[in-house]
Chain A
């Protein structure tokens, strides 16, 4: 695939962002490669209702 880009005028007024979170990027510029990965694990076993015991290793 041939990918041809013409960068002409790029002028932005205001950027307002509340949060850039968990492996995200706010880039004012150019990049060649961007790889962002994020995992979030909250399975049913992670909701523990009962006596307060130390955390047990569970997937």
Chain B
């Protein structure tokens, strides 16, 4: 079934990171998994005891995958058994991803990301000092004549 040959003239990938694969050739099974705890903290504080995946259910909960209920009879006729690509240019391959030139029978990839932001609390200031009292347009704040006659 997987009889087609992939022909690529030139391929360029700049960055491959976090459980990602660049496969040249065929494979029968591909499985990749990536777990990330993405913490953005406003101040440079590292406690060193944080970041256990067990603390967060997102890393253990099952991911439901829709079942294949229908019986499909699949037949491919490769009249021209070649896949031709002149040039591939990819900047980044990341987090349980795959870039493959060739065929693969079964592919499974899983990425779980928990995103946490920690920001500094705004500093409390006394209310009286920083409040600017706004007055109505015809109300004089200081009680002195303004010189502008009121329209009536």
Q: Interface on A for B, CB 8 Å cutoff?
A: 1-42, 46-52, 54-55, 57-59
CB distance from B60 to the nearest CB of A (A): 11
Cβ-defined partner of B4 (8 Å) among A2, A29, A42: A29
Q: Interface on B for A, CB 8 Å cutoff?
A: 1-2, 4, 6, 8, 20, 26, 32, 34, 39, 41-43, 45, 47, 49-52, 55-58, 61, 63, 65, 70-121
The answer to whether B97 touches A21 (Cβ under 8 A) is: yes
The answer to whether A41 touches B56 (Cβ under 8 A) is: yes
Across the two chains, which residue of chain B brings its CB closest to A54?
A: B47
The answer to whether A7 touches B85 (Cβ under 8 A) is: no
The answer to whether B113 touches A40 (Cβ under 8 A) is: yes
CB distance from B92 to the nearest CB of A (A): 5
A29 and B26 contact, Cβ closer than 8 Å, known pairs A23-B34, A40-B113: yes
Cβ-defined partner of B92 (8 Å) among A12, A14, A19: A19
Q: A21 vs B118: C-alpha distance in the bound complex, in angstroms?
A: 25
Q: A27 vs B79: C-alpha distance in the bound complex, in angstroms?
A: 20
CB distance from B45 to the nearest CB of A (A): 5
Q: A8 vs B80: C-alpha distance in the bound complex, in angstroms?
A: 5
Across the two chains, which residue of chain B brings its CB closest to A45?
A: B116
A29 and B101 contact, Cβ closer than 8 Å, known pairs A20-B20, A52-B41: yes
Given contacts A18-B92, A28-B100, 10 further A-B contacts (CB under 8 A): A1-B70, A8-B80, A16-B90, A17-B88, A21-B92, A29-B26, A35-B109, A37-B63, A39-B58, A48-B119
The answer to whether A32 touches B87 (Cβ under 8 A) is: no
CB distance from A21 to the nearest CB of B (A): 5
Q: A13 vs B87: C-alpha distance in the bound complex, in angstroms?
A: 6
A5 and B75 contact, Cβ closer than 8 Å, known pairs A23-B34, A23-B111, A38-B110: yes
- Residues of chain A within 8 A (CB-CB) of B52 are 57
Q: A32 vs B108: C-alpha distance in the bound complex, in angstroms?
A: 11
A17 and B86 contact, Cβ closer than 8 Å, known pairs A22-B111, A25-B100, A26-B100: no
